[in-house]
C-alpha cells in the first residue's frame, strides 16, 4: 500500500471516529448526569429524632414529594406565609412548640413562606392534595396581601415554582376553568415567570415536554442537594412526643396567661404592644401609612379562586382571618371603617364559597395578639391554635364562623385573662392621641 492510499484511508476514517467520539462523550455525560441523584441525600432518608413539619423553607413548601416523605402521622396541611418563620424563641405559643413539642394528637404541616399570596396558595393547595392525610386543612390569610395594588404580587411571582405548578396540573379534580384562570394570571407576570415555563407545564410540542423534564430534574436535584441545609431547622422530637401517652388538649387559659407575661417582658419600649426589636427596626417604616384595602381587585379574585381550588380538591378548609394591630393602624391613619370593610369582604367570599373561617377581627386591640405589625404573637397564636384544634375536633367555639358555624361570637363572648387585659389595654389605647407625624405632610394615596 502506497503512502497516498494510506493517507486517503485515514481521511476517510476520521469523520466516523470523530462522530463516534462525540456520541460516546454524550453517553458518558448522560450517565454522569443520571448518576448524580444516587450521590445525593434521599428525600425519605430522615432522622427519627427530628420533626420536619414545622420547617420554614421555600424548598419544602414547593415539594410535594419532600412533604410526603417527612410528614408526621397525624398532620394537617396549613397554608400561610411569613408567620411560619417564628419559632419558640419568639413565643412558646407558636405551633412548632404548642403542637410540635407536645402530645396534643395533631401536628400542623406548614406550607408557605414570605411573599406567598392567594395565587401561590391556591397552586399549593391543588398540588399538595395528594400529600394530605386528612380532608381538613387550614389557610391563614394576611391582610397585607390586600393592600392597595394587590399587596406584593411581584414578590410572589419571583418565587414561583415550576415543580409545584406541574403537581397542581396533575390534580385531576381541578376544573378546566380553574386551570385556565391560573394560566391566564401567570401570563400577566411574563417579565418574571417565563412563557417557556408555562408551556413546559402545559406541553403542546416535544420541545415543551423536554423543557418540562429538564426543569423538573433541575428543581429535584437542587432540592436533594440542599436537603441537609433545609432540614437543619427541624425541631427535635421531645420525650413527650416519643411516648405513648394519650393525647391531651392544651390548657388554653394557662397559655393565654403565659402569652401575656411574654408580651409584657418583650414589648416594653412602645405603647402598641410591638416586640422591642421589631419596633426599633420598623418604627419609621411607611408601608402601612394611610393604607387601604380597596384597590386590590386581583388579590380578591385570586383569593376567591384559591377557595374554589380547595373545594374542587376535596378539602374541608378553615380560613384564618388575621386582624391588624388596631393601635398601630390608628397611628398610621388607616381608617377603621376600611378595616371593617376588609374583614367583611373576606367573610363574604368565604360564605359564598361555603367555607368556614376563624374570625379574629374582634381582636384588633388585643395588645399581644400580634408580636409586630403583621405576625401572630404571644396570645394570637394561642387563639389561632385553639381555633384550629376545635375545627379539627368539630367543636364550636367563639372564634369559628362561616359555613358550619354561623356568625363567630368573637372576643365579646370570652372572659379569659387575655380578654380582661384587652379591655384594660383598649381603654388605655383610646387615650393615645399620638399619630404618625407624616400624616400631616402626606397627601392621601389613591
Instruction: Judge whether 367 lies within some domain.
Output: yes
Domain that holds residue 329: 46-155+231-446
pLDDT at 102: 97
Q: Where does 49-175 have alpha helices with state H? A: 58-62, 64-70, 95-98, 118-127, 153-158, 162-170
Which residues touch 211 (CB under 8 Å, ≥6 apart)?
196, 199, 200, 203
Which residues touch 93 (CB under 8 Å, ≥6 apart)?
255, 258, 259, 262, 377, 378, 379, 380, 381, 382, 385
Instruction: Judge whether 222 lies within some domain.
Output: no
Instruction: Judge whether 217 lies within some domain.
Output: no
pLDDT at 151: 80
Please give the tally of structural domains in the chain. Answer: 1
177-200 burial: b if 16+ Cβ within 10 Å, else e: ebbebbeebbeebeeebeeebbbb
Which residues touch 426 (CB under 8 Å, ≥6 apart)?
365
CATH number for the domain harbouring residue 64: 3.40.50.1110
pLDDT at 444: 47
Strand locations in 255-379 (E)? 316-321, 356-359
Instruction: Judge whether 354 lies within some domain.
Output: yes
User: For residue 401, what is the enclosing H or E element?
Assistant: strand 400-402
Instruction: Judge whether 96 lies within some domain.
Output: yes
pLDDT at 72: 94
For each of the chain's 446 residues, which pLDDT tens digit applies?
Answer: 555 454 444 455 455 565 666 665 556 545 555 555 555 566 677 899 999 999 999 999 999 999 998 999 999 999 999 999 999 999 999 999 999 999 999 999 999 999 999 999 999 999 999 999 999 999 999 999 999 888 888 877 888 899 999 999 999 999 999 999 999 999 999 888 999 999 999 999 999 999 999 998 888 888 888 888 989 999 999 999 999 889 999 999 999 999 999 999 999 999 999 999 999 999 998 899 999 998 999 999 999 999 999 999 999 999 999 999 999 999 999 999 999 999 999 999 999 999 999 999 999 999 999 999 999 999 999 999 999 999 999 999 999 999 999 999 999 999 999 999 998 887 777 666 567 777 655 544 44
| 3-class SS of residue 107 | strand
User: Residue 22: what are its φ and ψ, rounded to 5°?
Assistant: -65, -45
Instruction: Judge whether 204 lies within some domain.
Output: no
Instruction: Judge whether 218 lies within some domain.
Output: no
Q: Determine the Cα–Cα distance for residues 395 and 236; give it in Å rounded to an integer.
A: 30
Q: Determine the Cα–Cα distance for residues 363 and 378; give it in Å rounded to an integer.
A: 13
Distance of CA 436 to the CA centre of its chain: 31
What is the grid cell recorded at 259? 402569652
Q: Where does 361-416 have alpha helices with state H? A: 380-392
Give Cα separations from 287 to 150, 281, 367, 374, 441 (angstroms). 13, 13, 21, 11, 16
Half-sphere CA count of 224, side-chain side, radius 13 A: 17
Distance of CA 69 to the CA centre of its chain: 19
Q: Indicate the pTM of the whole model.
A: 0.89
pLDDT at 437: 75
What is the grid cell recorded at 267? 414589648
How many Å from the N-terminal Cα to the C-terminal Cα in the chain?
A: 91
Instruction: Judge whether 283 lies within some domain.
Output: yes
Q: Is 9 left (phi over 0), alpha (psi -120 to 50) or beta?
A: alpha
Amino acid at each position: 500500500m502506497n503512502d497516498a492510499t494510506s493517507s486517503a484511508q485515514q481521511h476517510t476514517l476520521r469523520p466516523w471516529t470523530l462522530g463516534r467520539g462525540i456520541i460516546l462523550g454524550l453517553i458518558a455525560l448522560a450517565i454522569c448526569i443520571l448518576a448524580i441523584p444516587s450521590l445525593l441525600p434521599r428525600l425519605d432518608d430522615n432522622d427519627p429524632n427530628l420533626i420536619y413539619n414545622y420547617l420554614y423553607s421555600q424548598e419544602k413548601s414547593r415539594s410535594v414529594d419532600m412533604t410526603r416523605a417527612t410528614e408526621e402521622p397525624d398532620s394537617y396541611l396549613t397554608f400561610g406565609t411569613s408567620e411560619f418563620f417564628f419559632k419558640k424563641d419568639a413565643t412558646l405559643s407558636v405551633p412548632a412548640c404548642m403542637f410540635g413539642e407536645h402530645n396534643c394528637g395533631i401536628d400542623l404541616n406548614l406550607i408557605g413562606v414570605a411573599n406567598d399570596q392567594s395565587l401561590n396558595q391556591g397552586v399549593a393547595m391543588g398540588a399538595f392534595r395528594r400529600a394530605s392525610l386528612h380532608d381538613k386543612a387550614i389557610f391563614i390569610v394576611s391582610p397585607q396581601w390586600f393592600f392597595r395594588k394587590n399587596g406584593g404580587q411581584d414578590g410572589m411571582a419571583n418565587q414561583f415554582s415550576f415543580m409545584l405548578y406541574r403537581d397542581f396540573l396533575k390534580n385531576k379534580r381541578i376544573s378546566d376553568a380553574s386551570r385556565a384562570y391560573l394560566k391566564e394570571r401567570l401570563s400577566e407576570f411574563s417579565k418574571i415567570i417565563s412563557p417557556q415555563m408555562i408551556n413546559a407545564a402545559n406541553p403542546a410540542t416535544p420541545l415543551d415536554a423536554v423543557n418540562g423534564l429538564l426543569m423538573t430534574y433541575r428543581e429535584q436535584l437542587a432540592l436533594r442537594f440542599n436537603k441537609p441545609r433545609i432540614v437543619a431547622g427541624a425541631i427535635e422530637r421531645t420525650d413527650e412526643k416519643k411516648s405513648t401517652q394519650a393525647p391531651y388538649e392544651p390548657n388554653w387559659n394557662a397559655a393565654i396567661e403565659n402569652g401575656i407575661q411574654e408580651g409584657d417582658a418583650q414589648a416594653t419600649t412602645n405603647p402598641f404592644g410591638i416586640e422591642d426589636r421589631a419596633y426599633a427596626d420598623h418604627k419609621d417604616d411607611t408601608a402601612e401609612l394611610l393604607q387601604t384595602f380597596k384597590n386590590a381587585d386581583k388579590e380578591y379574585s385570586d383569593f376567591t379562586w384559591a377557595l374554589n381550588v380547595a373545594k374542587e380538591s376535596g378539602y374541608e378548609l378553615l380560613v384564618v382571618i388575621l386582624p391588624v394591630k388596631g393601635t398601630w393602624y390608628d397611628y398610621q391613619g388607616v381608617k377603621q371603617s376600611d378595616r371593617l370593610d376588609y374583614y367583611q369582604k373576606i367573610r363574604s367570599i368565604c360564605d359564598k364559597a361555603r367555607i368556614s373561617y376563624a374570625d379574629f377581627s374582634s381582636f384588633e386591640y388585643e395588645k399581644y395578639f400580634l408580636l409586630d405589625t403583621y405576625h401572630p404573637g404571644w396570645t394570637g397564636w394561642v387563639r389561632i391554635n385553639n381555633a384550629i384544634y376545635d375545627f379539627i375536633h368539630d367543636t364550636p367555639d367563639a372564634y369559628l364562623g362561616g359555613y358550619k358555624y354561623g356568625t363567630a361570637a368573637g372576643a365579646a363572648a370570652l372572659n379569659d385573662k387575655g380578654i380582661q387585659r384587652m379591655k384594660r389595654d383598649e381603654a388605655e389605647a383610646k387615650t393615645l392621641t399620638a399619630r404618625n407625624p407624616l400624616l400631616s405632610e402626606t397627601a392621601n394615596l389613591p
